[in-house]
Amino acid sequence: MRIKSSNRHLIPLPTLCITAVFIALGQPKANAQILYVSEYLSNKIDSYNSSGVGSTFAASAGGNPAGLAIDSTGNLFLGSQGLGGLVEYTSGGHSTIANGFNVPWGIAVDVNDNAYVAQYSGSSIIKVALDGTKTTFATGVGQTVGITLDGLGNLYSAEQTNNRILKYAANGTSTVFVSGITNAQYLAFDSSGNLFASTGSSIYKITPGGSASVFASGLSRAEGIAFDNSGNLFASDFNAGNIYEYTSSGTRTTFATGLSGPWGLASAFSTSVPEPGSLVIFGGAVVAGSFVIIRRRQVRQR
């Protein structure tokens, strides 16, 4: 069981300083300012700093590691196709906190650290509570790869079979957010509330009102996507073995190369963006006016 306790304190936003932390010894733990990528074909997870310098985070990540997500404490979650499980990496090591999933490719974590797992071949989305309890969040869904959440707790899912993106309220009721997105893969919000979707050869930008346009093209097989706080978008290209970085205007550079089937991406840079007029969540921090509310410490035990 994971037991969570937290205290919060206020830091004036202009004085906030975030420092990258690297673990050289002991068990792997996810930390801020690092981009994580799962290598589907080599069964491992890599980590990259902001300069593109990479290292192995987890040398053996089960069979065919796919979707990744980070919770408010910096713990990393993995959807493992080979294990059929949801794996959590903490400072104490890693463990499978829930299993029995049918191709768990899509992973997302809400502000209360509940995890959501989209089963590509299971026609459902499962919610996993802090104590590992599984409940069905949505059923009858099409083949879904990526899912993400906004700051209001709405969940978005990319349905490949129905060429659309659904929006789920916290109670599980759904509406069509946008249709006509063929072969949608993974999803990510930018800091303005625009939703981005990888679709294999292209990446789409979708406004809060549901208007879609092509943001980037010319990829061989785009999978995971994630943003940093400067508005740069990172995308994994499975066939090319590359991670690309895009500026807000769509200019592309190669961030990392030589990977073996790069799939899921997760970064503490990423913002969980609400609908307009609400708070913006930066990883484990909530921006409210000119202050940042930070969870000082959270303890989990099994």
- What SS3 string covers 90-155? ECCEEEEEEECCCCEEEEEECCCCCEEEEECCCCEEEEECCCCCEEEEEECCCCEEEEEECCCCCE
Q: Among residues 40, 12, 30, which one has the least CA distance to residue 223?
A: 40
The predicted pLDDT at position 29 comes to 52
CA atoms of 189 and 225, how far apart (whole Å): 9
pLDDT confidence band for 86 (50 / 70 / 90): very high
Distance CA 127, CA 115 (A): 6
**How confident is the model at residue 275, as a pLDDT?**
46
Q: How far apart are CA 232 and CA 229, in angstroms?
A: 7
Mean pLDDT within 52-57: 94
Q: Of 180 and 92, which is predicted with more confidence?
A: 180
Q: Give pLDDT, residue 121.
A: 94
Residues near 298 by Cβ (< 8 Å), separated by ≥ 6? 4, 5, 6, 72, 73
What pLDDT does 55 receive?
95
List the one residue out of 1, 79, 28 whose CA is nearest residue 265: 79
- Say if residue 22's pLDDT is above 60: no
Q: Which residues lie closer than 8 Å to 301 by C-beta, 6 or more apart?
A: 1, 2, 3
Question: What's the mean pLDDT when you consider all of the chain?
Answer: 82
Question: Is residue 56 within 8 Å of 46, Cβ to Cβ?
Answer: yes
Q: What is the pLDDT of residue 268?
A: 73
- Domain ranges in the chain? 8-295
pLDDT at 248: 95
pLDDT tens-digit profile of 216-255? 999 999 999 999 888 899 999 999 999 999 999 999 999 9
Whether pLDDT at 288 is above 50: no
Share of the chain above pLDDT 90, in %: 70
Residue 3: is its pLDDT beyond 50? no
Encode pLDDT of 129-152 as tens digits: 999 999 999 999 999 999 999 989
pLDDT at 35 over 80: yes
Question: Where does the pLDDT of residue 57 fall: very low under 50, low under 70, confident under 90, or very high at 90 and above?
Answer: very high
pTM here is 0.80
CATH architecture of 8-295: 6 Propeller (2.120)
pLDDT of residue 175: 97
Using pLDDT thresholds of 50, 70 and 90, give the confidence band for residue 269.
low
Show Cβ contacts of residue 53 under 8 Å, excluding neighbours closer than 6 positions.
none
